[in-house]
A = this chain, B = another copy of it.
Amino acid sequence: MHMDKVRVAVAGASGYAGGEVLRLLLAHPSVEIGALTAGSNAGETLGSLQPHLIPLADRVLVETSLETLAGHDVVFLALPHGQSGPLAAQLGDDVVVIDCGADFRLDDAAVWEKFYGSPHAGTWPYGLPELPGQRDVLAGAKRVAVPGCYPTVSTLTLAPAVAAGLIEPDVVVVAASGTSGAGKAAKTNLLGSEVMGNVSAYGVGGVHRHTPEITQNLGRLTDAPIKVSFTPLLVPMPRGILATCSAPLTAPLTAAEAYDVYVKAYADEPFVHVLPAGQWPQTKSVVGSNAIHLQVTVDEAAGRLVAVGAVDNLAKGTAGAAVQCLNLALGFDETTGLSAVGVAP
């Protein structure tokens, strides 16, 4: 049986998230790429801004507007936080809208306003299919909120331990991210001269905006109120996040027992790979792929479970998840157009 291609628009095509959505869509057999929109870059060719996307190099970016986004089956929004809300409200209910921004991720309006400083736009189905029951929510969904990159890796790295009650609801996450997570807007502190040869911490003390999202995700897996200490680090690489996560054990546990819980939890997941015991994740293995690599152990002396996860912040951390959700929303095979194989070295 023949299936017509779905026509897809990408709003924010000049940024890193938009570019990665396009890179993945170019490999998706059931997608036809329609309008590419931008803000200040409207009028330029995509090739001048995203020279790696050769097949689309001659496409001219148009203004992000209801008019330019009209007439598509699917609209990806890869816009600065706060811009998706007003725009999405005007897109018809028949269009599938997949938002790579933060606007519709949080349940709690008060928490949203505290962390983002603007009115809450609402809550959409959360695009992390690996959470229990979430595939049912995403199947046929017309709206999807793609998770943040840090929440994706932090949640999947801790979820089995939280769900199985192995750890106290008091977790510490230190996540080292490549610079593309900070976006493509020109800022002095993100210059190559500043970030190369340098590691820094930022958003320390629970103030990073992804903190409540991690808390919300883990909170769905346990009845106890959960405390999350989250510290992001900026490290000198373009892509990738490595999250080091730990929490006190609720009861004595061996590393082998913890490992077994993780292996079972993710046995059927196409993109979650618990590495062989003793092999620890590295970000390079997942660059360009939709995979997350995980490992877990127990520190007996410290009385803690320690788990480490690695994702590509732009792929599984953003655009890959977006395409995975597209597949679920439209009924394609979930892995269509996505790869679990990274580009290394």
Chain A residues engaging chain B, CB cutoff 8 angstroms: 16, 19, 23, 26-27, 45, 47-48, 50-55, 57, 170, 172, 174, 176, 178-180, 182, 184-188, 190-202, 204-206, 211, 227-229, 231, 233, 235-240, 242, 244, 246, 248, 255, 273, 275-276, 279-289, 291, 293, 295, 297-304, 306, 308, 310, 339-345
Q: 15 A-B Cβ contacts within 8 A? A: A51-B275, A170-B302, A176-B235, A184-B191, A186-B188, A187-B191, A197-B238, A197-B239, A198-B284, A201-B281, A206-B299, A227-B302, A227-B303, A236-B236, A288-B288
The answer to whether A186 touches B184 (Cβ under 8 A) is no
In contact, A194 and B193 (Cβ under 8 angstroms): no
Contacts of A306 in B (CB 8 A): 204-205, 229, 231
**Least Cβ distance of A257 to chain B in Å?**
13
CB atoms of B179 and A193 under 8 A apart: yes
CB <8 Å contact, A51 and B285: yes
What are the 9 tightest A-B residue pairs by CB atom distance, in nearest-first order? A192-B195, A52-B342, A200-B282, A198-B284, A174-B174, A206-B299, A229-B302, A205-B297, A186-B186
A179 is contacted by which of B192, B288, B304 (Cβ under 8 Å)? B192
Given known contacts A200-B242, A205-B297, A240-B199, A282 and B174 CB-to-CB distance under 8 angstroms: no
CA distance A91 to B23 in the complex (A): 40
Q: Are B196 and A51 in contact (CB under 8 A)?
A: no
Q: A51-B293, A176-B176, A201-B308 are in contact. List 4 more A-B contacts (CB 8 A).
A: A47-B279, A179-B192, A198-B240, A227-B303
Given contacts A180-B345, A198-B237, whether A255 and B205 have CB atoms under 8 Å apart is yes
Which of chain B's residues have a CB closer than 8 A to the CB of A198?
A: 237, 240, 282-284
Please report the C-alpha to C-alpha distance between residue A339 and residue B26 in the assembled complex, in whole angstroms.
10
Would you call A55 and B340 a contact (CB within 8 A)?
Answer: yes
* Copy count, this protein chain: 4
Q: State A196–B298 Cα separation when bound (angstroms).
A: 29
Q: Which residues of B have CB within 8 Å of A53?
A: 341
Tell me which residues across on chain B come within 8 A of A275, comparing CB atoms: 47, 51
Find out whether the CB atom of B287 lies under 8 angstroms from the CB atom of A193: no
Which residue from B174, B190, B237, B343 sits with its C-beta under 8 Å from A288? B343
With both chains docked as a complex, state the minimum distance between the C-beta of A199 and any C-beta of chain B, in angstroms. Answer: 4
**Shortest distance between the CB of A337 and any CB in chain B (Å):** 11
Closest to A286 in B: B52
Report B-chain residues with C-beta under 8 Å of the C-beta of A285.
51-52
- Interface centre among A201, A273, A286, A295, by most chain B C-beta atoms within 10 angstroms, is A201
- List the B side residues contacting A205 at CB < 8 Å: 255, 297-299, 306
**Interface pair A199/B340, CB less than 8 Å apart:** no
Q: CB distance A196 to B237 under 8 Å?
A: yes
| Residue pair A297, B236 in contact (C-beta under 8 Å) | no
A199 touches B176 (CB 8 A): yes
Q: Cβ of B193 and Cβ of A238 under 8 Å apart?
A: yes
